[in-house]
Chain A
Amino acid sequence: MATTNTDYLLAIEDLTVSFDGFKAVDAVNLYVDQGELRVIIGPNGAGKTTILDLICGKTKSTEGSIKFKNQELTNMREHQIVRAGVGRKFQTPSIYENLTVLENLEISYPWGRTVFGSLKFKRDEKVQARIDKVAEQIYLTDQLDMEAEFLSHGQKQWLEIGMLLVQEPELILLDEPVAGMSFKEREATAALLKEIVKERSVIIIEHDMEFVARIANRVTVLHMGKILADGTMEEIQSNEKVKEVYLGH
C-alpha cells in the first residue's frame, strides 16, 4: 500500500476491487488536483461507477489506497468520508420525494448530524441564507416550498447537486448528471458545473461526448477496469486505442 503524501487533493493508487474473482477495477492510479474538473468516460462495464463507489465508501476495496487530502479513505465509513469533505451524487436522482425542496436541502446541512444534534437543530438565519444561496445556484429558488416529487427530472438532478453543495464538500463525485436532460437543461448544468468548480474539485462520469468536451479540463478513459488513456479532450479524441474501444474493433 502506498503511503507517500502528495500535493493532490485526491490520490488513488493501485486501487483494485474484485467481486468473486472478477476484477471490476484493476490497479487504477488516478490523481485529481485542487479545483480540477475531471471527467471519466468509458464503455459500459468499464468500472466507472465502481470507482466512485470506492472513493465514497459504498464499496470496499480489495487492494490499494485512496487518499483525500492525505487522509486514507479506504477504511473509513461512508458518513466519515462525507464529513471529511467528499460529496456523492447517484446515477438516478436520489432525493427525498415526500419532503419539500427546502427540507431536502436542509437535511443536507452539515451541522447537527448526530442524534442529539439533530434533536436540537433549528433552521436559523445562517441555515436559511445558505439554503437560499444554493437554491439560486441550482435554479430552484421558486420551487423551495414544492414537494420534490413534483419536480421535473432535470430539476431533481439539480436538487441532488444542490444537496451536495449545502454540505460544502471539497470534492464532488457526479454520476451522469445530465442523463435525461433537455438541451436547455444541459446548458444550464454546464454553467452550474463551471461555477461549482471554482471552489472545489469535481469528478464526473459522463457518456455525452459533446457535453464532456464543453466542461472537461482533463479526461480519463476507463476500459475493463483499467485506465486506457488520460489527457485533454483533444488528446483523447485523437488516441487510437480509445477509438478502437469505442468503435468496438
Chain B
Amino acid sequence: MFAEYSFEEIKSILIMQSFGGLSLLCIYVLMGLGLYVVFGQMGVINMAHAEFLVIGSYTMCLASKFVVDHMPTFINHYLWIAIPLSFGVAFLVGWIVEWLLISRLYKRPLDTLLATWGLSLIMQQCFRTFIGAREMSATLPDWLMGSWAPTDTIDIPINGLVILATTIILTTGLVIFTRKTRWGLRMRSTSQNRDMSQALGINTKVTDRFTFALACGISGIGGAFLTTVASTSPTAGTAYIVDAFLVLVLGGLGSLFGLVISAGFLALLSSILEFFMTGSMAKVWLYLIIFIVLAKFTKGLFSSKVRT
C-alpha cells in the first residue's frame, strides 16, 4: 500500500490528512459542545442541533451576499460582524425554541429526541421555503482562501487554521465561562441539583433558556466557519448529526475532556480511513470500529466512578 510513496511523501500525506482530520475535529467539537451542555443540564437530546449550525451558515452566506451586493469594499472585513451575527441569530432562535418547546420536555430524553426530530424537519423546510433549496456558499475574503506551505510537500489551508483557532478559543472560553462567572455557577448548580438551586433563589427557567440558547449560539458560530470549507444547503446539518452524537456517546456524555478526545479520535480515524478507501466504506469501517470500542467501554471512554 505504501510502496509507491517515498518516506517524505508519506510524512507529508500523514500531516495533511491529519490536518484535514483536524478541521473535522473542530466541527465535531463545536457541535458536540452544544449537545453536551444541553444534555448535561436539561437531559435533552437535541436532534435539531445541526439545524442551528445551518442557521449560522446561512447567516454567514446572506451577510456575504449583502456585502458583495451593496458594499464590495468591505469584503475583507465583514467577517468580524458576520460571525457575531451568526451567533446572535442562532442564540435568538434557540431562545425562542427553548421557550416554546424544550422547556416542556426536561428530563424526558427519549421524548425530546422525537420532538426535536420534528423540529429539525420543520426548520429544514423553513430553510427550503424561505431561503431556497439550492446550495449556497459565502464569498470569502482572499486572505482566508490562501494556504500556508511550511515545506515543499506540505500545504495547509488557512481557513482550516482559522477554524482550529476558533474552536480552541470557544472551548476554553466555555470552560472559563462555566468555571469563573456567576452565570456559569448558576448553570452548574442547576445541572447538579435543580430543586436545590430553585430553593436557593436561582431562576432555573432563565438559566436553562440561556444555556440552551448559548449552546445554539456556539453551534451557529460553528456553522459560520463551516461555510469556509463547505457549501450550505437546507439539509447540510444532517451529515454531521449522527456523528456528533456518536462523539458525545463515545466521550462518555459527562466530560468536556472526553468530548474533545473522542472528537479527535473520530476525526483522525475517519480521515485516515478516507485516504485508503471510498467515502462510504470509510464510514462503514469508522462506525464498526466505534461500535466495537463502545461494546468494550459501554460507559464511554471517559466516565468517573461515582456512587449512585
Contacts and interface: CB of A to CB of B under 8 A. Distances in A.
Interface of A: 19-20, 24, 50, 59
9 contacts: A19-B305, A19-B306, A19-B307, A20-B304, A20-B305, A20-B306, A24-B307, A50-B307, A59-B307
Contacts of A19: 305-307
Interface of B is mostly: loop
Contacts, number: 9
Interface of B: 304-307
Nearest to A53: B307
Contacts of B304: 20
Contacts of A24: 307
Contacts of B305: 19-20
A191 to B, nearest CB: 34
Contacts of B306: 19-20
A125 to B, nearest CB: 40
- Most chain A CB atoms below 10 A, which of B304, B305, B306, B307: B307
Nearest to A59: B307
Nearest to A50: B307
Contacts of B307: 19, 24, 50, 59
A74 to B, nearest CB: 16
Nearest to B304: A20
Given A19-B307, A50-B307, 7 more contacts: A19-B305, A19-B306, A20-B304, A20-B305, A20-B306, A24-B307, A59-B307
A19 B303 CA distance: 12
Q: Please provide the 9 A-B residue pairs with the shortest distance between their CB atoms, ordered closest to farther.
A: A19-B307, A19-B306, A19-B305, A20-B304, A20-B305, A24-B307, A50-B307, A59-B307, A20-B306
Nearest to B307: A19
B149 to A, nearest CB: 47
A42 to B, nearest CB: 16
